[in-house]
Amino acid sequence: MYKSIIIGTGPAGLTAAIYLARANLKPLVIEGPQPGGQLTTTTDVENFPGFPEGIMGPELMDNMRKQAERFGAEFRTGWVNSVDLSKRPFKLQVEGLGELVSDTLVLSTGATAKYLGIPGEQDNVGRGVSTCATCDGFFFRGKEIIVVGGGDSALEEAGFLTRFASKVTVVHRRDELRASKIMQDRVRANEKVEWALNRTPIEVVTSDTGVTGLKVRNNETGAEEVIEASGVFVAIGHHPNTGFLGGQIDTDDNGYIVVKPGTSLTNVPGVFACGDVQDSRYRQAITAAGSGCMAALDCEKYIENLEHEAAASAAK
């Protein structure tokens, strides 16, 4: 029986663990198959405050984990298959750990970037292949970049990347873009942006020096060509990791957990959400960490109220 269980170990979950552990609540943190979350797939992190020279993503996550452990957080590895949120205490069915019970839950399971699933892609994530322009655009100053996608997010990233790149080529498998007209007009007016529409990516091309381009197939002619670039940014969306919740927590149309504005509170009292699983807009390590702090403070207050209610009831 735990007072609090945190599911997920990205910046949000680890920050929540630090705060709850310092409050002497001895939280249990359940690590999935990718401890540390998406940041462990990056190399240099230069936009997290406090590291003027930057820090490697895996090192940052390892430091946060050690900090949580220092204050008494417990870490166990397992995969949460399902949860029962119908009454408190909540029950979790965890592969490898069995059934766990807790008064509160902090959901920080993140969102998984969608990839193309083509050769050369996964092998070069963090080495020329990226899903975050804000995170990695700086490293491609003066270089040619490819953005794959046709929605608002893809064009927003393309526009952002023109601040650094000498050229940005937008690759999309259809003739028409899905992005809003105002976004299309804005990016089409940018002289640094070129277009490779009606083309399907089939391979990330690399050499000893890293990514050198993207091989695509012309959907009209069937001909293959290589678009030269030093970086390939995949911007075809994310999917939040909420399947294990079984619909017990309110989500938006895209599956992101809905929280009460300005808080981490979900529709189930005692269940809190933080990080990318409830944030489809910013998706940054620092915003995830900040929301992890919010979740911990909300959770701590909830537990405090439970204890006061229990004491009052016992005194009657």
User: Catalytic residue numbers?
Assistant: 132, 135-136
- b/e map 244-256, b = 16+ CB within 10 Å: bbeebbebeeebb
DSSP 256: P
* SS3 (DSSP) at 92: strand
CA nearest to 256, candidates 36, 16, 245, 300: 245
Taking a C-beta distance cutoff of 8 angstroms, is the pair 275, 288 a contact?
Answer: yes
Query: CB neighbours of 180 closer than 8 A, spacing ≥ 6?
Result: 152
Query: CB neighbours of 127 closer than 8 A, spacing ≥ 6?
Result: 43, 210, 211
Record the tokens describing residue 302, joined without a space: 């909830």
Whether the link from the prior residue into 240 is cis, omega within 30° of 0, is no
CA nearest to 46, candidates 175, 171, 132: 132
Please name the amino acid found at residue 176. Answer: E
